[in-house]
Amino acid sequence: MPATRSVKTLIVYDSVYGNTEKIAKAIGDSIAGSKVLRAYEADYSALKEFDLIIVGSPTHGGRLTEAVKDFLGKIPANSLGNTCVASFDTRASAEGVFMKALINFFGYAAGRIADSLKSKGGLLVAAPEGFILTYSHL
């Protein structure tokens, strides 16, 4: 029987109220042997050790949080060398046409994270995913 090797996976996230953390940990629980780290704990110079890097952030003003931005900003351009990457965010459940339009206008964190990971040489293996809060602080 051929030897199998698990996919070395790193999940990096930020969370203010705990929702993004729950998603990050649930993803981690579903991938055997994965490592789940908060963005400020993650060592951007050791990313080449991983086969798959998943980055998640709460959406704040259509963008990622400072901690995730900081983590991504420190990864040197083209350093991911075709490492598989994916992204997710958490976002508000907008009520009403106006709020929906406003939130859509500003956009979401996951697409921006994916763009950043791709710009570092990452190979996007899944469409950016958004998880909608059933209760929102907005």
Altogether, the residues listed in the chain come to a count of 138
Spell out the residues 6+ positions from residue 137 whose beta carbon is closer than 8 angstroms to its own: 17, 92
If one asks whether residue 106 binds ligand FMN (CB under 6 A), the answer comes out as yes
If one asks whether residue 18 binds ligand FMN (CB under 6 A), the answer comes out as yes
If one asks whether residue 133 binds ligand FMN (CB under 6 A), the answer comes out as yes
If one asks whether residue 103 binds ligand FMN (CB under 6 A), the answer comes out as yes
If one asks whether residue 11 binds ligand FMN (CB under 6 A), the answer comes out as no
What would the 3-class secondary structure string for 90-113 be?
A: EECCCCCHHHHHHHHHHCCHHHHH
Stretch that binds ligand FMN, among 34-42, 55-63, 79-87, 116-124 (CB under 6 A): 55-63
If one asks whether residue 28 binds ligand FMN (CB under 6 A), the answer comes out as no
Give the shortest CB-108-to-ligand FMN separation in angstroms: 6
Contact 103, 61 (CB under 8 A): no
**Cβ proximity to ligand FMN, 82 vs 134, nearer residue:** 134
- Near ligand FMN by CB under 6 A: residue from 91, 110, 112, 122: 91
Q: Give the residue from 44, 116, 131, 130 showing the smallest Cα distance to 85.
A: 116
CA atoms of 80 and 91, how far apart (whole Å): 27
Half-sphere exposure of residue 52: CA atoms within 13 angstroms, side-chain side: 18
Give the shortest CB-98-to-ligand FMN separation in angstroms: 14
Binding residues for ligand FMN (CB under 6 A): 15-21, 58-62, 90-92, 103, 106, 133, 136-138
